Structure formats: C-alpha cells, structure tokens
Amino acid sequence: MEVALKIDVDTHQGLELGVPRLASMLEREGIVAGFYIAMGPDNSGRAILRVFRNRGFLSKMFRTRAVSMYGARTILSGTILPSRPIALSFPGIIRDLKARGFEVGVHGYDHVRWQDRLDKIGAAGILSELGDAFEVYRAILGEAPRSFAAPGWRTNDAALVALDAMALDYRSDTRGIAPYRCVAGERVLATPEIPTTLPTLDEVMGRRELPDDTAVRDFYLGLCRPDALNVHTIHAETEGMGQLESFTALVRALKERGVKFVQLREVASRLNRAELPLCEVIRTTLPGRAGWISAQGPARLAAE
Ligand SMILES: [Zn+2]
C-alpha cells in the first residue's frame, strides 16, 4: 500500500509554525512527503469572512475550532489587518525543507483570489497568478518549480492549458481516484494529473459517526486502498498545529501496516504518460466542504 502525503500550506502562520513541526515529526518517523506552498499574500481572513456569510457557519466554526486552529492574526489577515507575504516571509524554512529531502511545489500565489475568483480573473489573471508564484519559488530556491497544486482543488480550462504550457512533471489540482491526463475542451493535455484520493480532515471532523481521534484514524485506515496509490492532502495549519498529535498517530498506524510513503515526484517519474487514461475535469461538491471542487471525470476512449 502506498500513501503520498501532500501538505498544503495556505497561510503565513502555517508556514511559520505548522511546517517546521510537521517536517520534524515526519523526519523522526522516517517519512517522505511534499509541501505545496502558497507563494503570495496571506488573505485568509477574507476566506474566513466568506465562510461567515454561509449558512451553518457557527456550527462549523465550533466543530472545527477554527479560531484556535488558525489564530486571530490569520483570521484578520487581509481584512482589518494587512495581508502578509507567505513564502517570502520564511525563505529559510522553504530552503531547509528542500535541503532535508522534502519535495517543494507551488500551491498558487494568492490562495484566496484563486479559490474565490478563478473564473472571473480570466486567462490573463491566471497567467499573472502563475507567473508571480513561479517567480517567488525561483527567487527562493534558485530553480524552476516542477509541480503545481491548485488552491482549493479548483481549476478551469484556462488554468489547465496555461499550466500545461509550463511543461511541469505533474499537477495535483483535482480530487479523483488515480493519475490521468486532462481533456480541456477538445485538447488532450500532456501533463499528468495526480489527484487527491482521500477526504481532508476538515471535511471529516465533526461527523457524528466519528466522535474522537481514534474513530477518525480508523476511518482513514479503512479508506486507504491496498492495491492503489492513496494521495492524502493535509494542511500545515491543521495537521501541523492543533491536530499534530492525532496525525502522528495516523502516520504510525499506517507505518505499522507496512505502508510505503512516496512523494508525488516519484509517482510522476514512473508514470507512462501514453498509458494514462484521458479524463475530463468536472465540477462537483463534497460532503463537509463549501462550494465546488474540480474532480476527475469520466474517461474518454478516443485515441489522441
Ligand atoms: Zn490550500
């Protein structure tokens, strides 16, 4: 059984506090993983305000303990307090990840702008988000990024095509069941898409049938498919902070079951692009998550 841990870093606080804690824990446990970092400003306060306007906000806030999880500074970031740069505030932490053998990829530039306004900013807006993000990555690590993970699992044809032109080793933009190549409009894209296969902790937390950490751990153990690649997206702000202890317990339980941890770059290097299924990217919703996400759609039979 293979598990790839895809660690999304959405906020200033997540990079400052969650990432070093996660990296130390993973190193202690002898586990490889990849960190996908939002390269631009932390406007997460705006995202939290958006959630505020949705129905069911209060119960979700209590269930997920959002304030203790994110902290007041993050909740206000980009609203009444100025947004802070994420990656450029901690270049040393990012270089250190790479030096210690962790994979580092791009998780967009302005996470909130991408997630909330992807369809409104147009091809030019998407190109500027990508250009800025890749520039910051290059400035910090001295090389071009080789992978991209879309903020909020949201993409569209313009973003898919723009990223394909960058000839990355892979993307991880969607939810799905197994690696594939995207069909955008009539175009079959070259870059492999390696989707997240498991639900995220914030989607699962607070379910009535999962009353405690042990139940959540057993739930994940039950979801991991023995004969397939399991891609688990975790968050520096969640599993790296308030949920670090229970996440460590999950990692140990997976180790006990003989799971092999892999990085997505290794997965990408062994994929045969010509043999991957060609799938449309559809929009859908997930239990426990507000709004739409992009997902692996039905496979297409036509040859290229
Ligand atoms: Zn994210």
For residue 273, the 8-state DSSP code is G
**Among candidates 286, 304, 252, 235, which has minimal Cα distance to 10?**
235
Distance from residue 53's CA to the centre of ligand 1 (Å): 20
Distance from residue 44's CA to the centre of ligand 1 (Å): 10
Distance from residue 8's CA to the centre of ligand 1 (Å): 5
Q: Where are the alpha helices (DSSP H) in 100-212?
A: 111-141, 157-164, 201-204
Distance from residue 95's CA to the centre of ligand 1 (Å): 20
pLDDT at 72: 66
pLDDT at 220: 96
Distance from residue 10's CA to the centre of ligand 1 (Å): 5
Distance from residue 151's CA to the centre of ligand 1 (Å): 5
Q: Report the number of secondary-structure helices (H) and strands (E) in the chain.
A: 12, 13
Strand pairing category for 147-148 and 278-284: unpaired
**Cα–Cα distance measured from residue 55 to residue 120, given in angstroms and rounded to the nearest whole number:** 24
Distance from residue 11's CA to the centre of ligand 1 (Å): 8
- Asked if 32 contacts 26 with a C-beta cutoff of 8 angstroms, the reply is yes
pLDDT at 27: 98
- Asked if 2 contacts 229 with a C-beta cutoff of 8 angstroms, the reply is yes
Distance from residue 233's CA to the centre of ligand 1 (Å): 9
Give the count of beta carbons closer than 10 Å to the beta carbon of residue 78: 21
Distance from residue 234's CA to the centre of ligand 1 (Å): 9
**Cα–Cα distance measured from residue 17 to residue 93, given in angstroms and rounded to the nearest whole number:** 10
3-state secondary structure of 2: strand
**Cα–Cα distance measured from residue 78 to residue 86, given in angstroms and rounded to the nearest whole number:** 12
Distance from residue 67's CA to the centre of ligand 1 (Å): 17
**Cα–Cα distance measured from residue 300 to residue 157, given in angstroms and rounded to the nearest whole number:** 17
Distance from residue 57's CA to the centre of ligand 1 (Å): 19
Averages of pLDDT over each 10 residues, the chain, 304 residues: 97 96 98 98 77 60 60 68 90 98 98 96 97 97 98 97 97 98 94 98 90 93 95 97 95 96 98 96 95 94 55
pLDDT at 79: 66
pLDDT at 188: 95
- 256 to 70, 81, 221, 260, 301: CA distances (angstroms): 31, 45, 11, 10, 40
Distance from residue 91's CA to the centre of ligand 1 (Å): 19
pLDDT in tens, 196-239: 999 999 999 888 899 899 999 999 999 999 999 999 999 999 99
Distance from residue 301's CA to the centre of ligand 1 (Å): 32
pTM as predicted: 0.91
Give the DSSP H/E element, type plus range, for residue 245: helix 244-256
Distance from residue 303's CA to the centre of ligand 1 (Å): 34
